Structure 1
């Protein structure tokens, strides 16, 4: 899994080298297929980085967010035993950089990892900052991964929400093909990304969605990427966390996802002392992480 070839890009005009002209009817048919595929949430690789939340607005917001994220710094992981750099190659050929915290305790009877944990981060984070926070999962027998989003850190590509969602669908599918059990942990933007993965059929055993917005559509995005639209009818394998002191996303932005998830059977925490993920005071942070650990591992 250190490198995964992903999907091969498909030429929309497979016979373009053999014909000087393509008739108008064929072009219209191809355009219709591309539009229908995109509306269904399965945009082809060549269109993955298309903006879906407005050509100016989406680029501007990602530009702002990425400026807040720190630059990669390998010294942050220097000396961390069991941590190694890894990459994932997406279907449109972009290399995503990340880290794996190798399982090293409580392995299966065959001496193999019990499964994997995949973290999808907030938009002001990079992988080398976050991998250390997955130590307890590695010690519990799960290979634990975190990747820089495309256009962040050392990852290639342009920062686009549609592309990030497609990337994580591929990562989850690749890991499910390798490991017997899958755990998902998303914070802020990452929780919204994982809700899209779950809602579009991504397999998982348990998932934590921590302080994610309920909707993107009020800000010019299509409803099809709203996290609320992707809640499963049976949400009993989800833990949804929000913070009463969240200084990044207020309750109006997170409440609907939390309440609807609870109605569908999810475990819900609306922490009185919780700020945005990894912005808590020391005691609150440790309590939050302990709850996440117990839920994901079924303890």
Structure 2
């Protein structure tokens, strides 16, 4: 296959080759990376499906409208939305794997689908957090899960999405490009670094305020993070049509990459903020000092319901 030039693909005079960049490109082949991500998404979707089926089977054993049935509802809905988002992401990556291995639209797809993929993984951890809050044995590790879903995970998502913009930068500019200018906030990668710091600061300040809130939240509030992840996956699916229409010579502009990094920040910040909300189970923790109430109706007390004459006739003669 003849060696292509940047003038042919991107309208530049820089020549591509195996030694075109002075830094190693994180993603050498878009199709290979997309195929791997599609397989991982499919495996995670299988785990989400298994967890959802287990909760549906367990829900059949509870009385409708009981306290435990209402408490488990956010976990079931979160698992369902996580399953939907992971399936959508797996299909999107599979479609991307069938395209050209080094197109600008492919690198842009990795960047867009990566946001949906990361939030879907965080949504699965969020469902595990909801489950851990309702289990006496796992309640001690709940702060670790909450730290990941509300702080570390969203910050890492913004950082990875902004780092994906460097793939396009190196692909366009080649070995003569300098990364020093990419650290400025007016560039996609520099803006991602700045927004990562803003997210960490915002969540750090909001965590103190949220912990002081005492009012009851609706049951659907714990479902919002999973809804954010599912919405991101559906929006990514809408952009797939546009990406398929782009020619191989398409190159995303810095303005477009900056918009995508900003959108990744907004979705990640929304996921993190709603993950901080005190869940109903955590607020009822004070009421769980005694043994948990059973969903089954208590058996009637036969001795107390019967009269004294009836009790006397039922007791042995030696006791009477």
User: TM-score by structure 2 length?
Assistant: 0.22
Looking at secondary structure, tell me which structure has more strand per residue: 1
Query: Which one scores higher on RCO, CA 8 angstroms, separation ≥ 6?
Result: 2
Looking at secondary structure, tell me which structure has more helix per residue: 2
User: TM-score by structure 1 length?
Assistant: 0.23
